[in-house]
Amino acid sequence: GRDSGKAQAALSFSEIPHGLDHRHHLPEGYRADILLRWGDPLHPGEGDFDPAGLSAETQAKRFGYNNDFIAFMPLDSAAGPGENARHLASGNSRRGLLCVNHEYTQPHLMFPGYRDEASATRSVSAEHVAIEQAACGHAITEVEKTADGWQPVLQSPYNRRITLATPMLIVGPAAGDQRLRTRDDPTGTRVSGTVGNCAGGKTPWGTVLIAEEGFGGAFQGDPDNIADPVEALNHHHFGISAGNRNWGEHDSRFDIEHEPQEPNRFGWMVELDPYDPASTPRKLTSLGRFQHEGFTLVCKPGQPVVAYGGDDDEHQFVYRFVSRHSYLPGRDQHNRALLLDGTLFAGQFNDDGSGRWLPLAFGHGPLTPENGFRNQADVLIDARRAAALLGATPMDRPEDVETNPVNDCTYVMLTKNKRRTTADAANPRPKNATGHVVEIVPPGAYGRRDHASATFQWNTFLLGGNPNAEDPRLRGAYGQQSPGAISAHGWFANPDNVAFDPRGNMWVATDGCEDFGFHDGLWAMATEGELRAAPRHFFGCPQGAEVCGPEFTPDGSTLFVSVQHPADARHSTFDKPLHRWPDNDTKKAALPPRPSVLAIYRADGKPVGS
Ligand code: FEO
Ligand code: CA
Ligand code: CA
Ligand code: CA
């Protein structure tokens, strides 16, 4: 069971209405600074963004495309590079490193000359491919709150872009395995860059975890032309097909018929150290290979690190990692090895509200050579197949999975699954178009739960959709303890990312509300008390965009959000975009729509939402 905690301090902002237009929307009394836009320079002397003058070289020194996950890592003025513990301990909420994922590119909105949707996802030249590869990955930018609001600090030594050209190491149990070796890397331990960087997480030793989600879209080639049937099935699993975008035509490592094992070097979680600009990011094979949305940590002194993550695809699974060794605050060298050694589990959500974590361990149950697993590397590389064989519960596209630091329960955003035919208790609606949120309750008391336990209880926290919808498959359910607690604008669909403010309120970012006639945005709600699961609408984004990466400063006074793919709509191209947010430029050589990060705060400086 679940012992409910105390009611959380009420959210008192004035709710905004559902709407759909070319602007972003905030409650009264709030300000949003447009902090970083695609193409903004990250170093002095780079000059303003000029889409006509873009090259791979300049893009690699600028903010990338389709910003997603955000981590705010505080900076202590008295500490230097590598002094992670001092930076974190400062709790500085006015100066820090903004660590932002750049998930994917949309060449038809980035480059002139794309005529129609048929060509929209195809790059026409090697130069386009090189620019796109420099626009993906991650950006680390020092930011500070000045009298004029939040600003990037261009002269900062920490500013850095991570792209598909950034050298990385492959570490953990699968490193060096024969299935990770290629022409460029006969060792199976070194890889160039990262792609599909969706959401992520942070560690208390001052590193950032970034996910590799939809990496299959970067590859082309027909899996059925691959001789090894295990590898062919593996590539099919990740949507690699002959019809994909044509990076492979200009960069042969993205052609699986040329380099059939290169995709095995993507689909991992990547750990990077933003406080050390010379550090080499590492792909952590211990966390398995699938379409990672992100991984978020629960770290308690003297206990194993527990990390939760989702595989964002229809009928895929929720995962949990438990480290072999314990987290010891301040012992950074020790802690930096924790995510390399431990056990990955997949979640089984039973109809009676109980749950079990099933270990992805070679030799356990069906994970044997008879089923095509040679060793632990195979189990991790083919984690999806292993989890399915173990009997994990196929879910409705698990996006963010994150733990509320106040009540210590873990929340799973299940965005939708229109292909579901058979409902179960944890995925209760066939053809789920609106998504839902599941609450995991590990054993133990409020605020002190055992996340390393083999079992858990779970509840349906809310069902997305309009609570008054006639069709029960689309009908939402909120605020069960206080029916009627939400306004006509309080409902949403398609939960994707989630954050918790310092008071334990849940902030959900959506991806898909335009299917229901209004903008994507943010909805905030309590997780305890009478107003549990009763959302209020806080932020709305411009048409075509989804909202990602909500992230609070340590004191909760600023909320950073990513507005991803603005003006993404039918027939919307660089030459004729649906709109030109955020610059809204009307000059002759007008700027295109630009994915951007906003810094949101109250004019009076009090915590966001209070
Ligand atoms: Fe990239 Fe699962 O959203
Ligand atoms: Ca996304
Ligand atoms: Ca997402
Ligand atoms: Ca999504």
User: pLDDT of 103-141, one tens digit each?
Assistant: 999 999 999 987 655 555 565 689 999 999 999 999 999
Peptide bond into 582 cis (omega under 30): yes
Report the C-alpha gap between 336 and 129 in whole angstroms.
35
Under a CB-based contact definition with an 8 Å cutoff, are residues 104 and 130 in contact? no
Atom of ligand 1 at shortest distance to CA of 213? 1
User: Which residues, including other chains, have CB under 8 Å from residue 135's CB and lie 6 or more apart?
Assistant: 38, 59, 64, 65, 102, 105, 110, 163
Distance from Cα 198 to the centre of ligand 4, integer Å:
9
DSSP H/E element including 59: helix 56-59
Report the C-alpha gap between 344 and 288 in whole angstroms.
7
Atom of ligand 1 at shortest distance to CA of 399? 2
**Alpha-carbon separation of residue 339 from 100, 108, 303, 386, 427 (angstroms):** 21, 39, 13, 20, 30
Domain assignment present for residue 243? The answer is no
What is the pLDDT at residue 121? Answer: 56
Domain assignment present for residue 328? The answer is yes
- In this prediction the pTM is 0.97
Domain assignment present for residue 46? The answer is yes
Report the C-alpha gap between 220 and 534 in whole angstroms.
44
Residue-by-residue DSSP string for 297-364? EE--TTSEEEEEEEE-SEEE-EEEEEEEEEP-TT-HHHHTTGGGSEEEEEEEE-TTSEEEEEE--TTS
Domain assignment present for residue 187? The answer is yes
What is the pLDDT at residue 123? Answer: 58
Domain assignment present for residue 235? The answer is no
Atom of ligand 1 at shortest distance to CA of 214? 1
Quick count: other Cβ atoms within 10 Å of Cβ 449?
Answer: 22
**Alpha-carbon separation of residue 314 from 35, 373, 435, 564 (angstroms):** 34, 24, 12, 22
Domain assignment present for residue 232? The answer is no
Under a CB-based contact definition with an 8 Å cutoff, are residues 288 and 360 in contact? yes
Report the C-alpha gap between 8 and 272 in whole angstroms.
34
Helices marked H in 98-228: 107-110, 126-135
Give pLDDT < 70 ranges for the chain.
1-7, 115-124, 245, 588
The ligand that comes nearest to the alpha carbon of residue 196 is: 1
- Work out whether strand 282-284 and strand 167-171 pair parallel, antiparallel, or are unpaired: parallel
Atom of ligand 1 at shortest distance to CA of 196? 1
ipTM of the complex: 0.94
Q: What beta strand segments (E) does 179-327 contain?
A: 190-192, 200-202, 208-211, 269-272, 282-284, 292-298, 304-311, 314-316, 318-326
Amino acid of residue 196: G
What is the pLDDT at residue 28? Answer: 97
Considering only CA atoms, which of 423, 563, 589 is closest in space to residue 52? Answer: 589
Within its chain, how far is the Cα of 295 from the centroid?
8
Q: DSSP letter for 12, please.
A: -
Which protein residue's CA is at the shortest distance from atom 1 of ligand 1? 198
Report the C-alpha gap between 335 and 202 in whole angstroms.
13
What is the pLDDT at residue 115? Answer: 63
Distance from Cα 46 to the centre of ligand 1, integer Å:
31
> Which tokens go with 465?
């959709």
Under a CB-based contact definition with an 8 Å cutoff, are residues 557 and 93 in contact? yes
Count the residues in the chain: 610
Domain assignment present for residue 238? The answer is no
> Which tokens go with 54?
């873009």
What is the pLDDT at residue 579? Answer: 96
Range 590-594 contact pairs with CB under 8 angstroms and sequence separation of 24 or more: 591/49, 591/51, 592/51, 592/109, 592/110, 593/109, 593/542, 593/544, 593/566, 593/567, 594/37, 594/38, 594/39, 594/49, 594/566
Distance from Cα 495 to the centre of ligand 3, integer Å:
9
Residues with CB under 6 A from ligand 1: 103, 198, 213, 293, 312, 399, 496
What is the pLDDT at residue 431? Answer: 97
> Which residue range is the domain that position 71 belongs to?
30-214+267-602
Report the C-alpha gap between 287 and 383 in whole angstroms.
9
Distance from Cα 546 to the centre of ligand 1, integer Å:
10
Residue 31, beta-bridge partner list: 601
The ligand that comes nearest to the alpha carbon of residue 316 is: 1
Residue 426, beta-bridge partner list: none
What is the pLDDT at residue 117? Answer: 52
Domain assignment present for residue 122? The answer is yes
For the chain, the domain total comes to 1
Question: 């932020």: which residue's tokens?
Answer: 539
